[in-house]
């Protein structure tokens, strides 16, 4: 029986590199995310849309990732950022409790996102012992 295209080592490496790019972009958005949750609902909606785009992209790179896998954890964290920003953008005032709760959750998710990003980097380095 022929192997699935996603099983080829070069495909796995290419997908992991794509996921690493998604993680890096999500982390770059983090500072804008925190500012949007604190102050500007309209910015929050725009940034939420960027996270949604990254989430879709992550699914393209890991279409067969199982529940709980590193790849799926990345997708879930990016989607979580999208959802939190959408919820906080709907809150009427900068000091609304929804925004305060979102700020705390985003901080926890950012820490988890950095950890997933570092795990992806280690996995990539293990697959490319001569370096990238």
What confidence tens digit (pLDDT) does each residue in 32-84 have? 888 777 776 668 888 999 999 999 999 999 888 888 899 999 999 999 999 98
What pTM value is reported for the model? Answer: 0.82
All domains in the chain, ordered by first residue: 7-127 (1.20.120)
The Cα 46–Cα 63 span in angstroms is 26
Q: Where are the alpha helices (DSSP H) in 1-132?
A: 9-28, 30-38, 41-61, 70-90, 97-127
pLDDT at 25 over 90: yes
Per-residue confidence band for 2, with pLDDT thresholds at 50, 70 and 90? very low
Q: Measured in whole angstroms, how far is the alpha carbon of residue 60 from the centre of its chain?
A: 13
Q: What percent of the chain has pLDDT over 70?
A: 80
What does pLDDT average to over the chain? Answer: 83
The predicted pLDDT at position 99 comes to 64
């Amino acid at each position: 029986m022929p192997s699935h295209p996603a099983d080829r080592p070069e495909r796995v490496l290419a997908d992991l590199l794509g996921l690493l790019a998604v993680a890096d972009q999500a982390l770059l958005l983090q500072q804008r995310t925190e500012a949007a949750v604190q102050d500007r609902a309209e910015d929050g909606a725009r940034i939420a849309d960027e996270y949604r785009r990254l989430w879709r992209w992550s699914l393209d790179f890991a279409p067969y990732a199982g529940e709980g896998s590193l790849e799926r954890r990345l997708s879930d964290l990016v989607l979580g950022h999208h959802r939190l920003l959408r919820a906080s953008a709907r809150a009427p005032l900068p000091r609304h409790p929804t925004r305060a709760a979102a700020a705390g959750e985003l901080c926890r998710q950012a820490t988890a996102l950095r950890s997933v990003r570092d795990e992806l980097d280690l996995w990539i380095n293990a697959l490319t012992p001569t370096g990238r």
